Structure formats: structure tokens, C-alpha cells
Amino acid sequence: MYKEIVISIVVIVLIVILDIITQNFTNEAVAFMEDNLLALKEDLINESSEEQVQKKMEEMFDVWEEKEEKMAYYIEHAELEKIDTELNALKANILVNEYKEGVPELEKCLYTLGNIKEKSEIKVKNIF
């Protein structure tokens, strides 16, 4: 009886620790993307130079791909695919210099990132 209780406590502690680690990584990835998307949004609205906007987009896209690979282990793939779709649409608009059309895609991406962050938080409503 005592052995089972100890094992159960160890398993629960491990689950909580792993959840904290994944939550921290998710928060870091979402914060990075939000910051970069908001900076990109300013550039799109101000119609900054084409090279500057494309460079920011490429850098952000590369970092997102790295973070997405790790997040795919514990986040719903549908959510990650939504972000990929929106980022690709944004990238396409930037490549053809349609900056104003890229802003709604950017907003959708920010919204989806917010959803991912909210779902990964430890809350009673997320547990049940």
C-alpha cells in the first residue's frame, strides 16, 4: 500500500514538472511570435522597405519552424497547422507586396497564438 502511494506521488510530481516545462516553452514561443508579428504589423502598416519586411518575415518563419517541431509533441496539430496556414498566407502577401492584405492574416495568427497559450496554461477549466 505504501509503495503504491509513493509511486503515485512521484508520477503526479513528474507530470506537474513536465507540464511546467512545456508551459514555459510554449509561453516563450508565443511571446517571441507575438512580439515579432506586432513589429511586422507596424512595418506592414507603415509600408516599410520591401527588403526589411521580407527579412523579418524569413527570420521569424525560420525560428517558428524550429519551435513548432518541439511544440508538435504536446500541442494539437490542428492548432499548429492553423498558424502555419496563416503564416504562409502572410508570407505570400508580403512576397507580392500586398501588405494591407497581410494584416488580417497576421491578426488571425495572433489570435490563434493566444488560443494556444491559453490552452497550455494550468487552469481548472483546462483540466476538466
Task: Write out the chain's pLDDT in tens, 128 residues.
Answer: 789 999 999 999 999 899 889 999 999 999 999 999 998 888 888 877 778 888 888 899 899 999 999 999 988 889 899 999 999 998 888 888 887 888 888 899 999 998 888 887 766 655 55
The CA distance from 11 to 47, in Å, is 53
The CA distance from 41 to 76, in Å, is 26
pTM of the model: 0.79
Distances in Å between the Cα of 69 and the Cα atoms of 23, 29, 34, 81 are 15, 11, 18, 12
**66: its cell numbers:** 524550429
Question: Cβ contacts of residue 108 below 8 Å, gap of 6+?
Answer: 82, 86
Q: Which domains does the chain have, with CATH numbers?
A: 23-127 (1.20.120)
